Structure 1
Amino acid sequence: MPMDWVESGGGPLLAAPASQLARWEGATDDEGPEETWGDYGRACAIDGYIGLVGIGGGQGLVLGDEPATTTYLPDERLFVRWAAADSESDLVDAARHAVHGVEWQEELDWDVDGAVVLFDSAWPGATPEPGNHLNIDLSPGRYRVRAACERDDRNWMILVQLQPVS
């Protein structure tokens, strides 16, 4: 069964708390320097695979580095970011295998109050691009977010995993 994927127009993707979604304004001005691009500029300023950005009373998780098409595997609590692969099924299978032995390169803690929405950070949260966002059901709490770039002979992906912190 084909999976749902979120694509970027060239910048980072954002997993924003559903409760704070309307507070994300997206790109307010993309003609001037990055710091004038509004919330989108703040997401673009994140250096690395992952980072946090304030949204209202919460935090959004920025998926940075590459504007890679991304899906979410709920059983593994894993964002899979497609850099290169022959097929969706090959990439997803490789990601499910790789997550057990990958050397994580970045980590941070992220507090969420429940469900989040993954979308292109250039769009306003109140109206994410139709057909290009994912609703992700998360339990409220703190998560350890780990990220790594992983390659094998046929697939290249960025993995971002959420682990509940007790």
Structure 2
Amino acid sequence: MVRYAEPETVDWVESGGGPLIAVPETVLSFWAGADGDETASDYDRACEVDGRAGLLPVGDAAALVLGDEPAATAFLPEHRAFVRWYAGDDEGDLLAGVPEALRTAEWGPELSWRVPGPVLLFDAAWPGGACEGTDHVRVPLAPGHYAVRTAHAQPGPETWLGLVQLRPLTD
């Protein structure tokens, strides 16, 4: 089991108020964010995603939109999960509650996401080509097909988090 004894042990990504998006590195240049001459920008499309997570086409792949509400988000590779910090005073307490939250969560319907390899998680308002100069985290996913499930959890009396877990699928 991974222990998170030190504060700021994981990298958290925050948005300016809109959704976060995980875009495959191979198609980053196709994500225009809030820029562009189109009537509806890529950012507008991301804002239209209903629920806790959704998929949007980007180039010849799909990006995972983390919707619901803006929240600081980290990826915990040992759980293959994005953890969204909705409420709580202490990072250590929040992260310590993740294993139990994953075991007891009431999961929503699953999405099916095919990724060509690693993705970058960042604020959906940023263009993909500029996201590396902003608040972002690289998620080293192996190419393949994943089931994506979401849940809210309350691992402590004052701690609420969102979970977006990835499960590899066999083709």
Distance 1:15 1:107 in 2: 17
Once the two structures are TM-superposed, the CA of residue 52 in structure 1 deviates from its matched residue by 0.2
> Which structure 1 segments of 5+ residues have no match?
30-34
Report if the CA contact (8 A) 1:150-1:158 is conserved: yes
Name the SS of the counterpart of 1:22 in structure 2.
helix
Q: In proportion to residue count, which structure has more helix?
A: 2
What SS does the corresponding residue of 1:127 show, helix, strand or coil?
Answer: helix
- Cα separation, 1, equivalents of 2:109 and 2:72: 20
Selected match of 2:102 from 99, 102, 115:
99
TM-score with structure 2 length normalisation?
Answer: 0.90
**Following superposition, which runs of at least 4 residues in structure 1 exceed 6 angstroms of deviation?**
none
- Aligned partners of 1:122 and 1:106: how far apart in 2? 27
Structure 2: distance between partners of 1:69 and 1:37:
26
1:28–1:37 Cα contact (<8 Å) kept: no
Alignment TM-score, normalising by the size of structure 1: 0.92
1:163 correspondence with 2:163: no
Root mean square deviation of aligned Cα? 1.4
For residues 114 and 135 of structure 1, what CA distance do their matches in structure 2 show?
A: 11
Separation in 2 of the partners of 1:160 and 1:27?
24
- CA separation in 1, counterparts of 2:134 and 2:126? 13
Number of equivalent positions: 161
Q: Distance in 1 between matches of 2:132 and 2:24?
A: 16
Taking only the aligned residue pairs, the percentage that are identical comes to 50
Q: Separation in 1 of the partners of 2:18 and 2:123?
A: 7
The answer to whether the 8 A contact 1:123-1:129 is kept is no
Shift of 1:129: 5.6
* AA aligned opposite 1:142: H
User: Is 1:154 aligned to 2:158, yes or no?
Assistant: yes
Alpha-carbon distance in 2 for matches of 1:89, 1:165: 31
